[in-house]
Amino acid sequence: MKKNKLATILMLAGLFTNLTIMGQSKITKKNEGEDSSAQVHYRKVIANGQNIFYREAGAAGAPTILLLHGYPTSSHMFRELIPMLSGKYRVLAPDLPGFGYSDAPDREKFKYTFDNLTKTMQSFVDKLGLKRFAIYVFDYGAPTGFRLALANPEKITGIISQNGNAYVEGLSNGWNPMQKYWEHDTKENRDALRTFVTAEQTRFQYFTGVEDTTMIAPESYTLDQHFLNRPESAEIQLDLLNDYKTNVALYPKFQEYFRTYKPKFLAVWGNRDPFFLPAGAEAYKRDMPDAIVKFYNTGHFALETHVKEIGNEILNFLTALPQ
């Protein structure tokens, strides 16, 4: 009897050990999978003749979201959002030409217009073979992304606009000096905008409207200013500021796209943005009544202070998108 009891005890102990090892193995594999999807890769691809730097995370076969940054930043602005999204989605965040770690070709060789930025992003989309994807647009990324949507309506599964404007009522008085330049392209009006690329102005964009400025990571505006201080960068940015008038001229076309295709749409907006007013966010519902509009008590760079809230809102939104 004692031998049988001992055998039974040993058998049960062995079974428990095996189950424990199997459980640990599953947990390890799960964690390895999570680590793999969260890993960000830093790559480059030739698009429209330029070396375009981009960040990529998530499984290659997962639904794709394309993150388009604005002025004066780069894909670096998405550094905390990418890991939040990459567990379920393939995330791609390129640097536009003239920004971040992408090429900043000479103005004589590359025309700095929003049409040409879009042409480069179209080449990026084609090179990576993207057939269906959602877009997150911010600031300059909005007119670039909306141009992509106009050219590829069949590819767009949904749109997230974070302080990315498409309505005249969304433009604040901060645009008055730029509008003066649009109306009269003179050296005097161009030179008046040179303060726009200074460190003081970059800090203004990051800090204005922020309740707790200790949440603004110093590497954000410092890195942006590093690239703004490159030779010819001021002229590149002034060229783009001048060409921004073409975006406003296209607002009716963007709005027609919204009314025609009714894309799934989420606006996540820093309501204290000194350049893009909350009215611009609300206006999306005029053309897309089902659009979701969320406001956060912060400024232009809302991800710096509200990345968790915005990231969770995006994750909820993405679950309802067509694949």
Angle between helices 233-243 and 176-183 in degrees, nearest 10: 80
For residue range 82-130, what is the model confidence (pLDDT) as tens digits? Answer: 999 999 999 999 999 999 999 999 999 999 999 999 999 999 999 999 9
Give catalytic residues, as residue numbers: 300
Q: Per residue in 131-185, pLDDT tens? A: 999 999 999 999 999 999 999 999 999 999 999 999 999 999 999 999 999 999 9
Confidence grade of residue 208 (pLDDT, cut at 50, 70, 90): very high
**Mean pLDDT of the chain, nearest integer:** 92
Q: Taking the alpha carbons of 153, 154, 155, 160 in that order, is the dihedral positive or negative?
A: positive
- Average pLDDT score over residue span 26-44: 65
- Provide the pLDDT for residue 20: 41
The class of domain 41-318 in CATH terms is alpha beta
Ordered by start, the domain boundaries in the chain are: 1-38, 41-318
pLDDT greater than 90 at residue 195: yes
| Buried-exposed string 273-284: b where 16+ CB fall within 10 A, e elsewhere | bebbbbebbbbb
38 pLDDT band, cuts 50/70/90, is confident
Query: Partners of 135 in the beta sheet?
Result: 66, 159
Q: Give the global pTM.
A: 0.89
Whether the predicted pLDDT of 10 surpasses 70:
no
